[in-house]
Amino acid sequence: MDDVKKAEEIFKQFKEHSISEFFKKNRQMLGYSGKVRSLVTVVHEYVTNSLDASEEAGILPDITVEIRELGEDKYSVMVADNGPGIPKTYIGKALATVLAGTKFNRYMQQRGQQGIGAAGCTMFSQMTTGKPIKATSSTGTGKAYSCEISIDTVKNKPIVNNLEEIDEKFRGLRVYGEFADVKYENSDRGVLEYLRRTALSNPHMQLKFIAPDGQESTFVRAVDRVPERPKPAKPHPLGLAINDLLDFAHTSESRKISSFLVDHFARVTPNKVAELKEFAKALDFDKDPRQMSWDDAEALIKAFKEVKWIAPEASSIVPVGEEQVKVAVKNILSPEFMNVVERKPKVFRGGIPFVVEAAVAFGGQAGKKTESGYEGSILRFANRVPLLFDSGSCAITIAIKSIEWRRYKIDMETQPVSVLVNVSSVHIPYSGVGKESVAQEDEIIEEIKLAVMDAARGVQRYVSGKLALNSETNRYKMIMRYTRQLSMDLSNLTGKDEKKIEERVSALVAKHYPKVGVGNNADADGESLAEPGEDTATEGEEQEE
């Protein structure tokens, strides 16, 4: 009896909690850990929302970010865009309801995924300063309005106050918030670097940044075209787990497993179903998918692996694009040389398609300056969004560091090299809610590695050619030092004009060193210094790939 009373006493404390309360106590999961990182997280959430909204409306984004220092470790952040704006009836839910938004329920590529970001900013402002977020918006029709927004964390509900129409003509959204326990720092982990990298992966964006000291930085639009909108995607059969398949089947409205497969998954046709039947003979394909058992799903998953599949549709994913990457890298890094590679779509766990883009840039403003010279840098992106933190556990970092760079005549410890990788997918598998690190999925790591090695081969040819040219130049200069003395001696012996002899000797030397004086034989678009048809792939590289 005493044990029963103890259990009853314990469970009197049993209580349900809202998702807002959970994140209030675990703010580090949203990226609010460390003062510099917390400020970057605020800017990141608002800027990515502005980019997504503008692109979906077919608008070339113009974004302004202004940060002001209000006191010790206290700053205001204002982000304004020219997007479609937010209607009055949705402003509270959009900016102050955790797990609410337009993104989570759509199986398509987007920067944001969970519907947490903007609400997290509202909660962080409320937690650190006790102040609401101020929003001003206009959809371009009717009057603009302004309001103050806070969040009821117990109920995960928005609180909208002082809603009023204002006499202002514009289209878009302006958000203003005050945040404490944050710090502005001009470093490779700070706001300015985050925005620089955002401009690198979004060349269609125009962005103006006003720092706390009043200094303005403008990232000029390099591409006058809104990126194509990705189309909603279906999961690909490869990569599906048994539980994934059961979740889809038990909510399906199809009457048969055969029609369920055609209706719900990419690249599945009636002919492909006929092939699957050969590998899953014990399964009744006329069965109601809602009655599918674990054994049925397991048999199908095994059959999926036996059939040859076409790669996922590229229309569901819109990467930055090879030409756009070149333009952006030229604009931001001005390298001597770069090579860009875009891989074909692949799938990882859950049947989710993804595409990897990689660029290796050499010289110019690539890499990082150090006291002793240079070192290589890794620029990580997911769906065009820069990833500044948690680099050590990220699939991108792990893949890049696993490459034997010496094979490509590249030294990541001493040379000005930047390696850029962007992973695009309908669902990026982040390793945390803060979305700063791509999870270590084997398929993604392998694709990143192959893409970077492919890009590095082009740079290898350039570096090899540059080294050869430097060696040839040094030999040419050494020989030319003696041409004058040789001309004088020949003139004394033959009695002929010294200047004419020197001209003929110089021409003879130059004939043997034709590349010297020509300069760089490659431009930043990726033209190789190697001779046509020259294969510079190192021994054993095919085995690695």
**For range 405-423, the mean pLDDT:** 91
Q: Last residue of some domain: 164, 184, 219?
A: 219
Q: Read off the CATH number of the domain in which 158 is found.
A: 3.30.565.10
Going across the sheet that includes 144-152, the strands are 157-166, 144-152, 133-138, 172-180, 74-81, 62-71, 206-210, 216-219
**What is the mean predicted confidence (pLDDT) over 31-35?**
80
> Do the domain assignments include residue 467?
no
Same-domain check for residues 342 and 297: no
Q: Are residues 359 and 267 in the same domain?
A: no
Please tell me the predicted confidence (pLDDT) of residue 256: 94
Are 30 and 102 found together in one domain?
A: yes
Residues 311/319, Cβ–Cβ less than 8 Å = no
Of residues 69 and 434, more confidence is placed in 69
Q: How far is CA 136 from CA 85, 129, 163, 243, in A?
A: 9, 20, 10, 44
Residue 287, domain CATH: 1.10.8
Inside any domain, residue 486: no
The CATH number of whichever domain residue 371 belongs to comes to 3.30.230.10
Provide mean pLDDT across the span 35-54. 92
Q: Which domain covers residue 445, as residue numbers? A: 319-460
Residue 541, classified by CB atoms within 10 Å of its CB into exposed (0-12), middle (13-18) or buried (19+), is middle
Q: Quick one: what percent of the chain has pLDDT higher than 90? A: 41
Q: How confident is the model at residue 182 (pLDDT cuts 50, 70, 90)?
A: very high
Residues 179 and 128 in one domain: yes
The number of distinct structural domains making up the chain is 3
DSSP tally for the chain: helices H, then strands E: 16, 16
Cβ atoms of 177 and 76 within 8 Å: the answer is yes
Tell whether 437 is covered by a domain: yes
Examine the fold and report which residue of 422, 437, 460 is the final residue of a domain before the chain moves on.
460
Q: Which of 66-75, 152-161, 258-267, 373-382 has the lowest mean pLDDT?
A: 152-161
pLDDT at 115 over 60: no
Burial class from Cβ neighbours inside 10 Å (0-12, 13-18, 19+) for residue 276 reads: buried
* pLDDT for the residue numbered 343: 92
Asked if 295 and 329 sit in the same domain, the reply is no
In a domain, 5, yes or no: no
User: Which residue is listed with tokens 């909690």?
Assistant: 17
Residue 518 has pLDDT above 60, yes or no: no
Indicate if 73 and 118 belong to the same structural domain: yes
**Mean per-residue pLDDT of the chain:** 82
Q: Are residues 90 and 189 in the same domain?
A: yes
Residue 474 resides in a domain = no
Measured between alpha carbons, how far is 80 from 206 in angstroms, rounded to an integer? 12
Of 350 and 46, the one with more pLDDT: 46
In this structure, are 58 and 185 located in the same domain? Answer: yes
Residues 302 and 323 in one domain: no
Statement to judge: residues 214 and 248 lie in one domain: no
The verdict on 386 and 435 lying in the same domain is: yes
Among the ranges given (223-227, 398-402, 481-485), the one the predictor scored with the smallest mean pLDDT: 481-485
Backbone torsion region of residue 89, taken as left when φ is above 0, otherwise alpha when ψ lies between -120 and 50, otherwise beta: alpha
Q: Residue 221 CB: number of other CB atoms within 10 A? A: 18
Q: Which residues contact 464 (CB under 8 A, 6 or more apart)?
A: 409, 529, 530, 536
Domain boundary among 285, 306, 327: 306
Same domain, 333 and 298: no
191 within a domain of the structure (yes/no): yes
Is the pLDDT reported for residue 205 higher than 80?
A: yes
Residue 498 lies in a domain: no
The reply to whether 115 falls in a domain is yes
